[in-house]
Chains A and B, each alone.
Chain A
Amino acid sequence: MIAGLKLHGGVVVAILLLLAFAPFIIDWIDKPFYLDLVTRMVILAIAAASLNLILGYGGMISFGHAAYLGIGAYSIGIPAYYGEYDGLYQLAITIIACGSFSLLTGYVCLRTKGVYFIMITLAFAQMMFFALVSIEEYGADDGLVIDLRSELPFGFSLENSVSMYYLCFFILLFFLFIIHRLVNSRFGMVIRGSAVNDSRMQSLGFPTFRYRLLCFVIAGVMCGVAGWLLGNFTNFISPEMMDWTRSGELIFMVVLGGAGSLFGPVLGTAAFVLIEEVLSGFTIYWQLYFGLFLVAVVLFVRGGLDGLLSKFSRSDK
């Protein structure tokens, strides 16, 4: 068991070290394009980690989580369109916008369960998508180009791609730490308990709705921050960022990595982005093979990649 924990922990530490030194390694092998790939991966890992909080721990299968990526991105895009580049100001808009969107939709969605919850979260995300498609002022479905990245205090510049990367990386670490504390706290116990047996939790005396709603809001805001980073990173925003297929991809990343495990979404996102990159180099029909791979993972590896790692760990004790 201890050897097992070592292997499992070893893989996590190795990945974190790789990510921590990624810009240097990429510089050393002289393939600057890879920094873009890794930055995108880290941003998506933040989004997947936030989804994991509600899906993996809270049992709330949201099929509209990409809406927060989009709202976060538009929270820079629209101010930038009016010439407002202050990063903290944009971040405040992101948090307020995602917080209120998740509070309002969560208040409705969390009254439903199971497949109804999936459909209603999807419906709200699609409403957001079509709302932005219809606003000509902000580029409708062509989107908007952001000519300058957010300006941050202390002269920290996001125009430098290494700084951009490290900001994303530290936000990922920070959020993972917060999620770790959350799920093991009293609040987390209520969330995890009501994921599997909500009526029992109520009969114990927990008004579970308000805890689940707050959890939904926290996850929405975290994903909004990922959207804020994504908008900055791509210098371009469009409604496509909150397309329902993107929500589906986020669910894939969580399930692939292992729902309800802290580092699962990081593993899942890394695997997702790398496999997508490699397969699309071979064939334009890469999605077919990718789909087959996902089916295999879901069928044969319970608990995703994280579950696979701990399984190997256990068998070699």
Chain B
Amino acid sequence: MALLEVNNLHKSFGGISATCDVSIRVEKGELHAIIGPNGAGKTTLISQLTGDLESDSGTVYLDGKNITRLPMHKRARLGMARSFQITSVIDNMSVIENVMLSVQAQSGHSFRFWQPVSAQQELTETSHEILVNVGLQSRSLHRTTELSHGERRQLEVAMALAMRPKLLLLDEPMAGMGSDESIKMIDFISSIKGGTGILLIEHDMDAVFKLADRISVLVEGNIIASGSPEQIRDDKQVRRAYLGDE
């Protein structure tokens, strides 16, 4: 049984198909990358998977459970975490509070009214560990608005990771990063690879071919090819549509 199984997913906006008949699978512990030119429907696909957008047709199974019509928060509870292409964090809180929120979201309901969160070690310690892992521990008490662009991207991933997801959806985690930061992020993603299934959307081809176990190519809402990095590199159709003739 695949961790994520997407069958014939479809979404159109006023007659224009953003995703058309998309079927993909992500196995447990596998990193599956989706590449494709701008406007190919990559972010639409991610939004359909997380429940941000409702699909017109098709089905989505997470760990054997049909989640096609579930609201966003229920999918998250079932173990689906997402990082956003455009950084989306809670800007009136500190870095560690953002991560604590992610941890809190996965530890039961939040109808707890009395105990200050700062005194709850199960939140603070776990969050601190995660910040150490992504290398943001020195920024832990800063406001998110004081972070650099790259650091905000790291926080974005840290928040997704803090949810201890079964499946991690990374929407261009390297977007807008400098080359040093990108290298750090690639190292980081390969360090968490294997523990959790990852669906990665990325423009940076070096990163994709370094990290991916499998690659699918999305062009104009259609998956035109799917296979190992070697297969994709040698696929004539893909070269023509996306990589360009070298």
Interface residues of A (CB under 8 A from B): 181-182, 184-190, 192-193, 195-197, 199-208, 211, 214, 260
Contact of A197 among B72, B91, B112 (CB under 8 A): B91
Q: Is the CB of A184 within 8 A of B116?
A: yes
- Report the bound CA distance from A193 to B50 in whole Å: 19
Closest chain B residue to A204 by CB distance? B105
Q: Does chain A have a CB within 8 A of B113?
A: yes
- Report the bound CA distance from A5 to B82 in whole Å: 39
Contact of A182 among B73, B106, B113 (CB under 8 A): B113
- Residues 59-101 of B, flagged 1 when their CB comes within 8 A of A and 0 if not, give 0000000000001111011000110100011111100010011
Chain B min CB distance to A53 (Å): 12
- Residues 98-131 of B, flagged 1 when their CB comes within 8 A of A and 0 if not, give 0011101110001111111110100000000000
- Report the bound CA distance from A17 to B218 in whole Å: 67
Which residues of A have CB within 8 Å of B198? none
**Beyond A197-B89, A203-B52, A204-B101, 11 extra complex contacts between A and B, CB < 8 Å:** A181-B114, A185-B117, A186-B110, A186-B112, A186-B120, A187-B112, A188-B113, A199-B52, A201-B101, A203-B72, A204-B105
Interface centre among B74, B82, B89, B114 (most CB of A within 10 A): B114
Tell me the interface secondary structure of chain A in the complex.
helix
Q: Does chain A have a CB within 8 A of B159?
A: yes
Which residues of A have CB within 8 Å of B90? 192-193, 196-197, 200-201
Q: Is the CB of A205 within 8 A of B163?
A: yes
Chain B min CB distance to A125 (Å): 27
Q: Is the CB of A202 within 8 A of B72?
A: yes
Chain A min CB distance to B145 (Å): 11
Interface residues of B (CB under 8 A from A): 50, 52, 71-74, 76-77, 81-82, 84, 88-93, 97, 100-102, 104-106, 110-118, 120, 159, 163
Chain A min CB distance to B206 (Å): 29
Which residues of B have CB within 8 Å of A192? 90, 92-93
Chain B min CB distance to A160 (Å): 34
Which residues of A have CB within 8 Å of B52? 199, 203
Which residues of B have CB within 8 Å of A214? 111
- Report the bound CA distance from A205 to B90 in whole Å: 14
Q: Is the CB of A196 within 8 A of B105?
A: no
- Report the bound CA distance from A207 to B90 in whole Å: 16
Q: Is the CB of A207 within 8 A of B116?
A: no
Contact of B116 among A181, A195, A203 (CB under 8 A): A181
Closest chain B residue to A178 by CB distance? B113
Q: Is the CB of A202 within 8 A of B76?
A: yes
Which residues of A have CB within 8 Å of B50? 203
Which residues of A have CB within 8 Å of B105? 204-206
Which residues of B have CB within 8 Å of A202? 71-73, 76
Return the 3 tightest CB-CB contacts between A and B, nearest first. Answer: A205-B76, A205-B105, A184-B116
Chain A min CB distance to B63 (Å): 15
- Report the bound CA distance from A279 to B57 in whole Å: 65
- Report the bound CA distance from A207 to B112 in whole Å: 15
Which residues of A have CB within 8 Å of B116? 181, 184-185
Which residues of B have CB within 8 Å of A187? 110-113
- Report the bound CA distance from A189 to B82 in whole Å: 20
Which residues of B have CB within 8 Å of A208? 73
Q: Is the CB of A189 within 8 A of B117?
A: yes
Which residues of B have CB within 8 Å of A190? 101, 104, 110
Which residues of B have CB within 8 Å of A203? 50, 52, 72-73, 76, 81-82
- Report the bound CA distance from A202 to B81 in whole Å: 11
Closest chain B residue to A214 by CB distance? B111
- Report the bound CA distance from A202 to B102 in whole Å: 11
- Report the bound CA distance from A182 to B113 in whole Å: 5
Chain B min CB distance to A147 (Å): 39
Which residues of A have CB within 8 Å of B113? 181-182, 185-188
Q: Is the CB of B111 within 8 A of A197?
A: no
Closest chain B residue to A260 by CB distance? B92
